[in-house]
Amino acid sequence: MSETAQLKIGDKTYDLPVIEGTENEKALDISKLRDLTGYITLDIGYKNTGATKSAITFLDGEQGILKYRGYPIEQLAEKSTFIEVAYLLIYGKLPTTEQLDKFQFEINRHTLVHEDMKKFFDGFPSKSHPMGQLSSLIGALAAFNPESLEPGLSAEIVDLEIHKLIAKMSTIVSWIYKKSLGHPVNYPKNKFDYVTNFMYMTFSQPTEQYEINPVVISAMNKLLILHADHEQNCSASTVRIVGSSDANLYASISAGISALWGPLHGGANQAVIEMLEQIKEDGGDTDKWINKAKDKNDPFRLMGFGHRVYKNFDPRAKIIKKACDDILENLGVQDEVLEIAKRLEEVALKDPYFVERKLYPNVDFYSGIIYRALGFPTDMFTVLFALGRLPGWIAQWKEMKENKEPIGRPRQIYTGATDLDYNDISSR
Ligand code: SDX
Mean pLDDT, all residues of the chain: 95
Among protein residues, the one whose CA lies closest to atom 26 of ligand 1: 307
Residue type, 357: R
| pLDDT tens by residue, 185-197 | 999 999 999 999 9
* Alpha-carbon torsion (235, 139, 90, 384), positive or negative: negative
Q: pLDDT band for 412, please (50, 70, 90 cuts).
A: very high
- Please provide residue 136's backbone torsions phi and psi, each rounded to the nearest 5 degrees: -70, -45
Whole-number Å distance, alpha carbon 396 to ligand 1 midpoint, is: 23
pTM above 0.85, yes or no: yes
- The secondary structure of residue 361, as a DSSP letter, is B
Element (H, E) at 26: strand 26-28
Residue 319 in this model has a pLDDT that exceeds 90: yes
pLDDT given at position 264: 92
Whole-number Å distance, alpha carbon 411 to ligand 1 midpoint, is: 25
Whole-number Å distance, alpha carbon 360 to ligand 1 midpoint, is: 10
Residue 348 in this model has a pLDDT that exceeds 90: no
| pLDDT tens by residue, 262-312 | 999 999 999 999 999 999 999 999 999 999 999 999 999 999 999 999 998
Residue 1 in this model has a pLDDT that exceeds 70: no
pLDDT given at position 325: 85
| Distances in whole angstroms, Cα of residue 183 to Cα of each of 126, 202, 204, 327 | 11, 10, 10, 27
| pLDDT tens by residue, 208-237 | 999 999 999 999 999 999 999 999 999 999
Among protein residues, the one whose CA lies closest to atom 16 of ligand 1: 264
Classify the phi-psi angles of 22: left when phi > 0, otherwise alpha if psi is within -120 to 50, otherwise beta. Answer: alpha
- Please provide residue 305's backbone torsions phi and psi, each rounded to the nearest 5 degrees: -115, 145
| Distances in whole angstroms, Cα of residue 241 to Cα of each of 137, 155, 229, 411 | 20, 20, 16, 14
What's the average model confidence in pLDDT over 1-13? 92
Whole-number Å distance, alpha carbon 52 to ligand 1 midpoint, is: 23
Residue whose C-alpha is closest to residue 90's, from 193, 169, 171, 165:
165
Q: pLDDT band for 335, please (50, 70, 90 cuts).
A: confident
Of the given ranges (39-43, 101-105, 335-339, 407-411), which has the lowest mean pLDDT?
335-339
Beta carbons of 351 and 294 less than 8 angstroms apart: yes
Cα–Cα distance measured from residue 343 to residue 321, given in angstroms and rounded to the nearest whole number: 13
**Residue among 224, 308, 309, 396 whose CB has most ligand 1 atoms within 8 A, to mutate:** 308
* Higher per-residue confidence, 73 vs 312: 73
pLDDT given at position 50: 97
Q: How far apart are the first and last CA of the chain?
A: 63
What's the average model confidence in pLDDT over 115-143? 95
Q: pLDDT band for 151, please (50, 70, 90 cuts).
A: confident
In which order are the strands placed within the sheet that holds 71-72? 57-60, 65-68, 71-72
Classify the phi-psi angles of 358: left when phi > 0, otherwise alpha if psi is within -120 to 50, otherwise beta. Answer: left
What's the average model confidence in pLDDT over 362-380? 92
Beta carbons of 399 and 55 less than 8 angstroms apart: yes
Residues with CB under 6 A from ligand 1: 230, 233, 264-266, 268, 293, 301-309, 357, 359, 362-364
pLDDT given at position 148: 86
| pLDDT tens by residue, 9-63 | 999 999 999 999 999 999 999 999 999 999 999 999 999 999 999 999 999 999 9
